[in-house]
Amino acid sequence: MSGICADRVVVVTGAGRGLGRAHALAFAAEGARVVVNDLGVGPDGSPGDGSPAGRVADEIRAAGGEAIVHGGDIATGAGAESLVAAALEAYGRLDTLVNNAGFLRDRMLVNLDEDDWDAVLRVHLKGHFLPLKHAAAHWRAETRAGRTPVARIINTSSGAGLLGSVGQGNYSAAKAGIVGLTLVAAAELRRYGVLVNAVAPAARTRMTEHVFADTMAAPAAGFDAMAPENVSPLVVWLGSAAADVTGRVFEAEAGRITVMEGWRPGPTADKGARWTPAEAGETALKLLAKAQEPGRVYGA
């Protein structure tokens, strides 16, 4: 390994399994000291078994790395504040925050309960905002004290947040919100030495195993295209001092990395005055005929 994150202190939320675990192990392999956060809940947020975060921290230490466990709920102000405090108390600094925690409660919209909507928005969107807020407050204080950090935040969106996904209205809305949060944070925090980006990964985890059921076994050639470890190298680079990029969204899947270009103005028309409804409709149809087709919603 190159040691690209040597001596950096990295917090990873939802790091007990899946992508978070892969990220935590990859950061540690590159020399980072890692705060492993996980509540240990089930795939739908229900109470889980044991302490997966503790097992990941044990793996890191067994490989010669440094790690501590944080079991707080990062979708609460107190939990998010204590997450940042844990890094500072254990290692005296914080360099990188990887927001990754989440779970699913999939339903078609007409069957989606309010509680399922609130729970998924809470863990994904609020669970990104609060750790980001408290980490950013620390880095702002450091900058004002004359110690501008080389700080990085990596948020976790999804293809569902970029294109939509049938049966995942709550998840898609949360992941789209994370993209908006990333853009705002990148604009606001750069003055404090903080660069903020997002990844939209595709990998086999507890949340997606039903989607990638036909790729559960590694191919004969030995490259498991859907392994979460394939996403981690990009996340580790984005979390390092070497990454001088902010406000971007990347898709990462298997051996592929894509820079997503997001919403950009397409065909336009300006009358210079107010349209009538009929004129607006006629004009909209003409513009649509010139516009690129949007990507297809997953499952449509």
Rounded Cα distance, 175 and 243, in Å = 23
* Nearest-angstrom CA–CA distance, 251 and 201: 6
Q: What angle do CA 255, 103, 90 make, to 5 degrees?
A: 85
Report residue 275 CA to chain centroid gap. 41
The catalytic residue among 82, 157, 158, 165 is 158
Cα distances from 177 to residues 62, 105, 126, 180, 224, in angstroms, run 38, 17, 10, 5, 30
The backbone torsions φ and ψ at residue 180, rounded to the nearest 5 degrees and listed phi first, read: -60, -40
**Cα separations in angstroms, 286 against 280, 282, 291:** 10, 6, 9
* Catalytic residue chosen out of the listed positions 175, 192, 232, 240: 175
**Residue 171 appears among annotated catalytic residues:** yes
Alpha carbons 63 and 290: distance in angstroms, whole number: 56
Catalytic-residue membership of 2:
no
Of 126, 157, 165, 171, the active-site residue reads 171
Which helix (H) or strand (E) segment holds residue 90: the answer is: helix 77-91
Is 271 among the catalytic positions? no
Which residues does the annotation mark as catalytic?
158, 171, 175
